[in-house]
């Protein structure tokens, strides 16, 4: 059951979560998989599929994709369509707020434009449950950025994921998964063209493959098991908080959830509600494992809670307090922020519009959630239409300061339009 910790125990739990590292066994096994795929392509993919008990990787035909999507019920199709509309609207609004930059100086002009990558693979995990939400979140953000070609990859082509592929306009759908799928997309094989980026969540092996291949391909982030941190005051509803914790804990056995408060009575009531909800709800068998890794944390006061939250830098941060808006500017490190008693994290997981692909493992300290910005490359430019004495002289002086006299000579040569005096060799 989820432990209730205070004092030194709470501090130890926070420190442990904030300093968690990579599993060396996963690192080694993924490195071996990547090498096999790089060296032997499709043959290695087939062998790895047999070893792991997976179906052989393959490209689904358009007929297979359409037939699979047609098996989805009408209510399910409509809710996916509504989610897609909200997600598309949000990400198109983000993209429309961006634009080229131009700076005019007396001797020159310079600027920057945002250019989308050309070919992106969106990874939708298979695992225990189909995740069409991952396909929608990644694919629609890429579309809003102007990505031309989207490849959808999933180990199990559930009808909901196939229909999500239609909604994002995926040009191709590969049935494959794991670290080997990321390797195939990064290196290319005889039958799988390489991509420019791989985005989307996955298990520890998928995340480690993305980490090792970053630089060969672009990635969105290194997303690990789901996390939620909830800050609650005495006005929060214990049953709601219990359900919010259970909702994130049901993602996988390694999911980590915590509730922070200075109100011990509230924490005790939430603990009791968790027991009650577990007895009456339908939750996976592993839930107790993820709850054992989670915690109800009683800290001294609001200030202590805020400090702890910035140390945790959680994927999802829910402020279940009466007046959350003044706290927004005081918190710096989180993936997604949910403001107020009613702003449950599942709204963001599926329907509201903002992306649910968020940084985990304290990486919110230096990265943000997936958005159209993920797929845009800033490309700077400079135009000097004629002689520019100040720019030339200052550049030459700076280059001499660094001892790069060739740079200085190239700048000085452009002080005028006059040709240089050349001597015959």
Of the listed ranges 17-21, 31-35, 243-247, 392-396, the one predicted with least confidence? 17-21
Q: Are residues 321 and 236 in the same domain?
A: yes
Any domain includes 5: no
Q: Summarize pLDDT for 348-376 with one digit per residue, the tens.
A: 999 999 999 999 989 999 999 999 999 99
Q: Are residues 337 and 400 in the same domain?
A: no
Q: Kindly tell me if the per-residue pLDDT of 113 is higher than 90.
A: yes
Q: Are residues 190 and 278 in the same domain?
A: no
Tell me which residue of 81, 201, 211, 205 sits closest to 134, measured CA to CA.
Answer: 201
List 91, 158, 251, 316, catalytic entry: 316
Any domain includes 365: no
Q: Are residues 202 and 249 in the same domain?
A: no
Q: Are residues 216 and 293 in the same domain?
A: no
pLDDT number for residue 219:
96
Q: How confident is the model at residue 421 (pLDDT cuts 50, 70, 90)?
A: low
3-state secondary structure of 379: strand
Q: Please say whether the beta carbons of 227 and 255 come within 8 A.
A: yes
Q: Summarize pLDDT for 311-340 with one digit per residue, the tens.
A: 999 999 999 999 999 999 999 999 999 999
Any domain includes 366: no
Q: Are residues 205 and 269 in the same domain?
A: no
pLDDT number for residue 277:
92
Any domain includes 335: yes
Question: What mean pLDDT comes out for the span 244-260?
Answer: 92
User: In which domain, by residue range, is 168 found?
Assistant: 24-220+373-377
What sign does the CA torsion over 153, 158, 161, 163 have? positive
Measured distance CA(55)–CA(174) in Å, rounded: 12
Q: Are residues 254 and 180 in the same domain?
A: no
Active site includes 315? yes
DSSP count for the chain of H helices, then E strands: 16, 15
Any domain includes 16: no
Q: Are residues 42 and 63 in the same domain?
A: yes
Cα of first residue to Cα of last residue in the chain, in angstroms, is: 84
Any domain includes 12: no
Portion of the chain with pLDDT greater than 90, in percent: 82
3-state secondary structure of 352: coil
Measured distance CA(28)–CA(249) in Å, rounded: 28
Q: How confident is the model at residue 281 (pLDDT cuts 50, 70, 90)?
A: confident
**Burial profile 196-214: b = 16 or more Cβ within 10 angstroms, e = fewer:** bbbbbbbbbbbbbbbebbe
The residue from 290, 325, 342 where one domain ends is: 342
Q: Which two tokens stand for residue 332?
A: 């710096």
Average pLDDT, the chain: 94
Q: Are residues 150 and 192 in the same domain?
A: yes
Residues 6+ apart with CB under 8 A from 132: 80, 124, 158, 160, 161, 163, 164
pLDDT number for residue 424:
52
Active site includes 333? no
Q: Kindly tell me if the per-residue pLDDT of 274 is higher than 70.
A: yes
Specify the pairing of strand 119-123 against strand 149-154: parallel
Domain CATH for 274: 3.40.50.1980
Question: What mean pLDDT comes out for the span 250-272?
Answer: 94
pLDDT number for residue 38:
96
pLDDT number for residue 425:
47
Alpha-carbon distance values, 84 to 49, 80, 102, 141, 406 (Å): 32, 6, 34, 10, 55
Q: Are residues 50 and 198 in the same domain?
A: yes
Residues 6+ apart with CB under 8 A from 411: 391, 392, 393, 395, 396, 399
Measured distance CA(120)–CA(148) in Å, rounded: 8
Burial (CB < 10 A; 0-12, 13-18, 19+), residue 254, is middle
Q: Summarize pLDDT for 288-302 with one digit per residue, the tens.
A: 899 988 999 999 999
Alpha-carbon distance values, 67 to 11, 60, 61, 63, 71 (Å): 53, 11, 10, 6, 7
Any domain includes 7: no
Any domain includes 1: no
Higher confidence at residue 287 or residue 85? 85
Total residues found in the chain within this entry: 425
pLDDT number for residue 23:
81
Residue 138 CB coordination number (10 Å): 32
Q: Are residues 109 and 233 in the same domain?
A: no
Q: Are residues 234 and 171 in the same domain?
A: no
Number of domains making up the chain: 3
List 250, 251, 315, 356, catalytic entry: 315
Q: What is the DSSP string of 239-290?
A: HHHHHHHHHHHTS-TT-EEEEEES-HHHHHHHHHHHHHHHHHS---TTHHHH
Q: Summarize pLDDT for 406-420 with one digit per residue, the tens.
A: 999 999 999 887 776
Measured distance CA(182)–CA(170) in Å, rounded: 17
């Amino acid at each position: 059951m989820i432990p209730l910790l205070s004092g030194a125990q709470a501090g130890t739990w926070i420190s442990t979560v904030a300093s968690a590292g990579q599993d060396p066994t996963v690192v080694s096994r993924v490195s071996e998989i990547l090498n096999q795929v790089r060296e032997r392509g499709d043959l290695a993919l087939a062998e790895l599929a047999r070893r792991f008990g997976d179906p052989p990787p393959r490209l689904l035909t358009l007929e297979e994709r359409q037939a699979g999507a047609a098996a989805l019920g009408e209510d399910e199709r409509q809710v996916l369509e509504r989610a897609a509309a909200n997600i598309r609207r949000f990400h198109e609004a983000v993209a429309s707020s961006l634009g080229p930059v131009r700076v005019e100086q007396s001797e020159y002009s310079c600027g920057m434009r945002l250019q989308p990558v050309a070919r992106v693979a969106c990874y939708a995990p298979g695992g225990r449950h189909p995740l069409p939400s991952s396909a929608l979140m990644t694919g629609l953000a890429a579309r809003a950025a102007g990505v031309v070609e989207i490849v959808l990859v999933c180990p199990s082509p559930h009808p909901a994921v196939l229909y999500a592929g239609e909604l994002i306009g995926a040009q191709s759908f590969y049935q494959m998964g794991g670290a080997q799928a990321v390797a195939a997309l990064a290196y290319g094989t005889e039958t799988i063209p390489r991509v420019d980026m791989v985005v989307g969540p996955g298990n520890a092996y998928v995340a480690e493959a993305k980490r090792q291949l970053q630089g060969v391909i672009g990635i969105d982030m290194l997303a690990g098991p789901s996390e939620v941190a909830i800050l609650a005051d005495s006005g929060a509803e214990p049953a709601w908080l219990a359900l919010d914790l259970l909702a994130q804990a049901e993602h996988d056995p390694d999911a980590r959830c915590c509730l922070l408060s200075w109100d011990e009575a509230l924490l005790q009531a939430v603990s009791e509600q968790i027991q009650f909800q577990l007895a009456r709800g339908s939750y996976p068998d592993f839930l107790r494992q993820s709850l054992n890794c989670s915690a109800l944390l009683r800290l001294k006061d609001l200030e202590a809670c805020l400090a702890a939250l910035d140390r945790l830098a959680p994927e999802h941060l829910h402020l279940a307090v009466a007046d959350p808006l003044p706290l927004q500017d005081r918190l710096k490190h989180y993936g997604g922020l949910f403001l107020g008693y009613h702003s449950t994290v599942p709204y963001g997981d599926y329907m509201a519009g903002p992306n649910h692909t968020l940084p985990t493992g304290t990486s919110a300290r230096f990265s943000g959630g997936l958005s159209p910005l993920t797929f845009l490359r800033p490309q700077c430019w400079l135009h000097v239409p004629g002689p520019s004495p100040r720019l030339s002289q200052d550049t030459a002086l700076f280059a001499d300061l660094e001892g790069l006299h060739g740079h200085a000579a190239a700048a000085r040569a452009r002080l005028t339009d006059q040709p240089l005096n050349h001597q015959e060799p």
